[in-house]
């Protein structure tokens, strides 16, 4: 756990990336596995995680990301896109995966499937979209922690125009909506932000014991 705290203190939202350094395929695979293993409500993972590698696409995305240089300078750009209008199709796909993975029949799981559908599909579409968007933050958390252990910098971003991302990346036709952005790579030695003392609330201010 001491290493985890050290890693948490090491990481920060990198403002300037070293364009000469790239995350290795091996480390990328580790980060992807960390994202894949993230917790999510019901285990549904109602999102896609898009690694935007095309430099022309990244250049198009920079202006709709408040002009932030990390979009084009970081080793990799990751877009977390939540499933929109989630419904029975996605739930049925989850249970198909579950039965095949665990080698069990659907018969004993039908009640749980019906329960999930009754809780999810009855929500208004806007509420469902908000719910699936929230799930992407859990996946981002795993990315942040795994990357810090590997000493890979991550800048999580909400400073972008989601609708423009949807259009540029063609997400709407896939039933997706850009929820979060993260850039990964290695901090530039000239990034002064890395030397700032981390500012957080004290234990006394943050935590309540009831």
pLDDT of residue 1: 64
The model's pLDDT over 52-90, given as tens digits with 9 standing for 90+, comes to: 999 999 999 999 999 999 999 999 999 999 999 999 999
Identify the residue with better confidence: 68 or 2: 68
The model's pLDDT over 119-155, given as tens digits with 9 standing for 90+, comes to: 999 999 999 999 999 999 999 999 999 999 999 999 9
- β-sheet bridge partners, residue 157: 181
The model's pLDDT over 73-83, given as tens digits with 9 standing for 90+, comes to: 999 999 999 99
Give me the residue spans of the domains in the chain: 16-87+128-187
Long-range contacts of 55-62 (CB under 8 A, 24+ apart): 57/168, 57/169, 60/168, 61/160, 61/164, 61/165, 61/168, 61/169
- pLDDT band with cut points at 50, 70 and 90 for residue 196: very high
CA angle 61, 62, 67 (to 5 degrees): 150
Q: Which fold has domain 16-87+128-187?
A: NADH Oxidase (3.40.109)
Closest CA to 51 of 173, 116, 137, 143: 143
Average pLDDT, the chain: 97
pLDDT of residue 2: 76
């Amino acid at each position: 756990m001491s290493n985890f705290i050290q890693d948490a203190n090491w990481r920060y939202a990198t403002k300037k990336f070293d364009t000469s350094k790239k995350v290795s395929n091996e480390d990328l695979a580790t980060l992807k596995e960390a994202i894949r293993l993230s917790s999510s409500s019901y285990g549904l993972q109602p999102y896609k995680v898009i690694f935007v590698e095309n430099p022309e696409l990244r250049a198009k995305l920079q202006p709709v990301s408040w002009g932030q240089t990390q979009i084009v300078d970081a080793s990799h750009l990751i877009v977390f896109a939540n499933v929109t209008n989630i419904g029975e199709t996605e739930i049925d796909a989850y249970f198909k995966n579950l039965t095949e993975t665990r080698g069990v029949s659907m018969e004993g799981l039908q009640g749980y499937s019906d329960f999930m559908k009754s809780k999810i599909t009855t929500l208004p579409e806007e509420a469902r979209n908000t719910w699936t968007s929230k799930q992407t933050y859990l996946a981002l958390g795993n990315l942040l922690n795994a990357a810090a252990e590997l000493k890979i910098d991550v800048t999580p971003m909400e400073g972008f125009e989601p609708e423009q991302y949807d259009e540029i990346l063609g997400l709407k036709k896939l039933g997706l909506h850009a929820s979060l952005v993260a850039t990964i790579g290695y901090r530039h030695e000239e990034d002064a932000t890395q030397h700032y003392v981390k500012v957080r609330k004290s234990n006394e201010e943050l935590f309540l014991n009831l």
